[in-house]
Chains A and B, each alone.
Chain A
Amino acid sequence: MTTLLAFLPEFILLAGALALFVVALGDAQEKIARVVTLVTAAAVLLATLFTFNQQAVLFNGAFRVDPFSQFLKIAIAFGYLCLGLLSRELCDINGRTRPEYHLFLSFSVLGLLLLVSSVDLITLVLALELSSFALYLLVPMRRERVGQKVQMESAIKYLMFGIAATGVMLFGMSYLYGLTGSTSLPVILAQLPALLDSPLALAGLALTLAGLLYKLAVFPFHFWTPDVYQGAANETAGLIASLPKVGAVAVLVRLVSLAAPDNASFAMLLTGLAIASMVYGNLIALVQTDLKRLLGFSGIAHAGYALVGFVSLDDAGYAAALYYIVGYMLMVLACFVVICRVSRDGANVSIADLAGLHRRSPMLAVTLLIAVFALAGLPPFVGFMGKLSLLTAALAQGHMTLVVITVINSAVAIYYYLRIVRAAFFGEAEETAAPLKLNWSTVALCLLLIVGITGLGLVPAGVVDTISRSLAAIRYPGVG
Chain B
Amino acid sequence: MTPAASSFPFLSVLIFSPVAAVVVLSFLRSERAQRWWTLALTTALALFSLLLLPRFDSGTHAFQFAEHAAWIPTLKINYTLGVDGISLLLVLLTTLITPLCVLASWNYIRTRIREFMIALLLLETTMLGVFSALDTILFFVFWEAMLIPMALMIGIWGGPRRVYASLKFFIYTMAGSVFLLVALIALRLETGSFDLAATMGHPLADGLQSWVFAAFFISFAIKVPMFPFHTWLPAAHVEAPTAGSVLLASVLLKMGTYGFLRFALPITPHAVQTFGPAVMWLSVAAILYGGFAALAQTDLKKLVAYSSVSHMGFATLGIFALNAGGIEGATLVMINHGITTGGLFMVVGLIYERLHTRDLAAAAGIGRHMPIFTFCYGVFCLSSLGFPGTNSFIGEFLVLAGGFKVSKLLIVCAVPGIVAAAAYNLRMLQKLAYGSSKNPAHAHLVDLNFREIAMFAPLIAFVFWIGLNPSPIVRIMHASVMHLLQQANHTAVQVAALPLP
Which positions in A face B, CB cutoff 8 Å?
319, 358, 369, 373, 376, 378-380, 384-385, 388-389, 391-392, 395-396, 400, 403-404, 407-408, 410-411, 414-415, 418, 421-422, 425-426, 460-461, 464-465, 468
Contacts and interface: CB of A to CB of B under 8 A. Distances in A.
Interface residues on chain B, size class: 20 to 34
B244 to A, nearest CB: 14
Contacts, number: 86
A378 B162 contact: no
Given A379-B145, A388-B137, 10 more contacts: A379-B140, A388-B75, A395-B186, A400-B186, A407-B182, A411-B171, A414-B174, A461-B74, A465-B73, A465-B74
B171 A415 contact: yes
Contacts of B70: 461
A396 B189 contact: yes
B152 A425 contact: yes
Contacts of A403: 182, 185
Given A379-B145, A411-B175, A418-B167, A404 B182 contact: yes
B72 interface: yes
A414 B148 CA distance: 12
Contacts of B185: 388, 391-392, 395, 403
A384 B171 contact: no
A414 B73 contact: no
Interface of B: 70-75, 137, 140-142, 144-145, 147-148, 151-152, 155-156, 162-163, 166-167, 170-171, 174-175, 178-179, 181-182, 185-186, 188-189
Given A380-B145, A414-B171, A418-B170, A407 B72 contact: no
B156 A426 contact: yes
Question: Main SS of chain B's interface residues?
Answer: helix
B219 to A, nearest CB: 11
Contact of B181 (A388, A414, A460, A464): A388
B148 A425 contact: no
A426 B155 contact: yes
Contacts of A358: 156
B12 to A, nearest CB: 14
A421 B70 CA distance: 34
B174 A411 contact: yes
B163 A410 contact: no
Nearest 9 CB-CB pairings of A with B: A379-B141, A407-B178, A426-B155, A411-B175, A464-B74, A426-B163, A461-B72, A411-B178, A379-B144
Contacts of A384: 141, 144
B147 A378 contact: yes
A433 to B, nearest CB: 17
B125 to A, nearest CB: 10
Contacts of A426: 155-156, 162-163, 166
A102 to B, nearest CB: 36
A407 B188 contact: no
Contacts of A373: 148
A367 to B, nearest CB: 14
Contacts of A395: 182, 185-186, 189
A364 to B, nearest CB: 15
B20 to A, nearest CB: 15
Contacts of B167: 415, 418, 422
Nearest to B179: A407
A407 B175 CA distance: 9
Nearest to A395: B185
Nearest to B72: A461
